[in-house]
């Protein structure tokens, strides 16, 4: 999803914020850090489907091949 979103304060002290899309719909609320993390998530380009790697298990007499999804480590900051 590539939305033009905006973070707006909900209170006069600036402790609670709202993340809104280009139509004014609220996507989420929370601290500014939470809204910024959510904004990064929704504006990040989508990743391709899960890639699969082959792992061989077994002894000297025979092998078994299984498919294991690869993990991606994602940091928001």
Q: Does a structural domain hold residue 13? A: yes
User: For residue 1, what pLDDT is reported?
Assistant: 45
Is 33 or 55 the better-scoring residue by pLDDT? 33
Q: What percent of the chain has pLDDT over 90?
A: 39
The rounded Cα 53 to chain-centroid distance in angstroms is: 22
Whether the per-residue pLDDT at 60 is higher than 80: the answer is no
User: Residues 52, 69: contact at Cβ < 8 Å?
Assistant: yes
| Number of domains observed in the structure of the chain | 1
In DSSP notation, 33-70 reads: HHHHHHHHHHHSPPPPSPPEEEEEEE-SS-EEEEEEEP
Give the domain range for residue 58. 1-71
Helices (H), the chain: 32-43
66 φ, ψ to 5°? Answer: -120, 155
Average pLDDT rounded to a whole number, residues 29-36: 93
């Amino acid at each position: 999803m590539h939305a033009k979103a905006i973070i707006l304060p909900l209170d006069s002290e600036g402790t609670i914020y709202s993340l809104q899309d280009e139509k004014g719909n609220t996507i989420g609320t929370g601290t500014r850090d939470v809204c910024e993390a959510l904004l990064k998530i929704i504006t990040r380009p989508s990743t391709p489907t899960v890639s699969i790697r082959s792992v061989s298990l077994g002894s000297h007499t025979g092998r078994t091949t299984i498919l294991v999804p690869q993990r991606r480590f994602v940091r928001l900051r």
